[in-house]
Amino acid sequence: MQTFEKIKQIIQDLSGIPADKITLESTLEQLNLHQLDLAEVVFTVEEEFDVVIHNEASISRLKDLVNLVADQIEAA
């Protein structure tokens, strides 16, 4: 899953979280990503994938973000 791998790398780069701790099922709480951290991740993801994430509040697990991005890529 190329989208997941790119988002995983973005999270690693921005937060320093080891790759083995980042899974599709990881919650933001498990990753210790707070609202400001999430905003930075979302901004970077939007730039990387040329998408717009409208509802950050709906993101509780990493797979939620991956699905939002994948849905927009497929719709394009």
pLDDT score of 3: 95
- Indicate the CATH number for domain 2-75: 1.10.1200.10
- Give the contacts of 21 (CB within 8 A, at least 6 positions apart): 30, 31
Global pTM reads 0.92
Does residue 76 surpass a pLDDT of 90?
no
Does residue 1 surpass a pLDDT of 80?
no
The pLDDT tens digits for 2-47 are 999 999 999 999 999 999 999 999 999 999 999 999 999 999 999 9
pLDDT score of 52: 96
Which one, of 8, 29, 10, lies nearest residue 20 by Cα? Answer: 8
Question: Looking up tokens 């899953």, which residue turns up?
Answer: 1
